[in-house]
Structure 1
Amino acid sequence: MEIKLKKNTKNYLLITLQKEKEDIFLQLKLNEKGNLGSSEYTFKIGEDAADVIRDWAMDKQQSVGFDEDYDLTNEGEMLQEIIDKFYS
């Protein structure tokens, strides 16, 4: 499957996955297509790995994605984009 993410979401995903899910991070990093000058980045990834990323993002969003009024934070918005894009 092919996934397109905004630059800031792509950076967040790669940095956070490297710390928390290195096995999946390596799959993403190896399959990243460089889109120089573009605000979106495209990844190719298998559906099983996409499911793992989506589940991880959903769990992470529950713990860090909302403020005290239950509104999405900036991090929560990026996680929501990941959840939406990695839904197969």
Structure 2
Amino acid sequence: MSGFNDYMLPCLNKKLFGVECMGCGLQRSASLVVQGEFTDAFYMYPAIYTLILLLIVIVFNTFRKFKYSNKIITILVILNIVIIVTNFVSKLI
């Protein structure tokens, strides 16, 4: 899987300002999930699994509407925002 890692985009925020952005680690975390390194993926980017769940719900809802889908999506979006911001702040401290 090292070939996949050769095509990852660098973080422009980190290159310009020397500070990681809120998305830093997402690509590497997704790569780790694909490789089966689930624990490492979580430590790399804690929101990876809630983001995957959100993506699954949105795709499923696109093709087949289900009851309370808007509430579920809203809750998952809020949960992801909380996890991402918390992770970002913890990296700054």
Q: State whether TM-score is above 0.5.
A: no
TM-score range, shorter chain: 0.3 to 0.5
Bigger CA radius of gyration? 2
TM-score (norm 1): 0.34
Higher strand share: 1
TM-score (structure 2 length as normaliser) = 0.32
Higher RCO (C-alpha 8 Å, min separation 6): 1
